[in-house]
Amino acid sequence: MRKIFIIMLVGVVGTLLGACTSLDCSINNVVALNVSIPDTVKGDTLNVYTIVNGADTALYTNGMNVTSLSLPMSYSQDADVFLFAFSDTTGVTTVDTVTIAKTNQPHFESVDCTPQFWHSIQSATTTHNMLDSITINDSEVNNDASKQHIILHLHSH
């Protein structure tokens, strides 16, 4: 009887140890919209805002000669609206509204890891004050920080 108990105990302990997993969560858990601005006007200062519950929220401030930046995306909205404010050396500010329509997909790697929301860009539109056009370079926004998702093209001066 004692042998059966020891064998069962060893089996239960072995099963419990085998059931333990090491956390295999991704180190890079930031999901951001990567924006490229290849033809930035030298000397302009860039500020980027978004509208949350009717109020604007600063996402990026006082950037000079900005050629790329990363912006957070909402988890539940079907579109994100960003205000790109370009201020020249004389203090004149020109604002363009960029709207990114998207779908949101929850992404789970493990029950032990923080869930992420990945996005698929459906369209990108802008007003045309300082910005000429937008190109969607990669429509899948996930935790791969090496991707450039959209490219903003400025009017030529």
Residue 64 domain flag: yes
Token digits for 102?
A: 């998207």
| Position 76 in a domain | yes
Q: Would 139 be classed as within a structural domain?
A: yes
> Which residues constitute the domain of residue 124?
31-154
Name the 3-class secondary structure at 30: coil
pLDDT in tens, 11-35: 555 555 444 455 567 666 788 999 9
The span from the CA of 101 to the CA of 128, in Å, is 18
Number of other CB atoms surrounding residue 154 within 10 Å: 18
Chain segment 101-137, per-residue pLDDT in tens: 999 999 887 778 878 899 999 999 999 999 999 999 9
Residue 13: inside a domain, yes or no? no
DSSP strand pairing (68-72 vs 150-154): unpaired
- For 83, the 3-state DSSP assignment is strand
pLDDT over 90 percentage in the chain? 54
State the total domains in the chain.
1
Supply the CATH number for residue 113's domain: 2.60.40
The answer to whether position 11 is within a domain reads no
Classify residue 8: in a domain, yes or no.
Answer: no
Q: Tell me: the pLDDT tens digits for 66-100?
A: 999 999 999 889 999 999 999 988 989 999 999 99
pLDDT at 65 over 60: yes
pLDDT at 153 over 60: yes
Residue 62 has pLDDT above 80, yes or no: yes
CB 66 within 8 A of CB 86: no
Give Cβ neighbours of residue 123 (< 8 Å, ≥ 6 apart): 100, 101, 136
DSSP annotation of 10 reads H
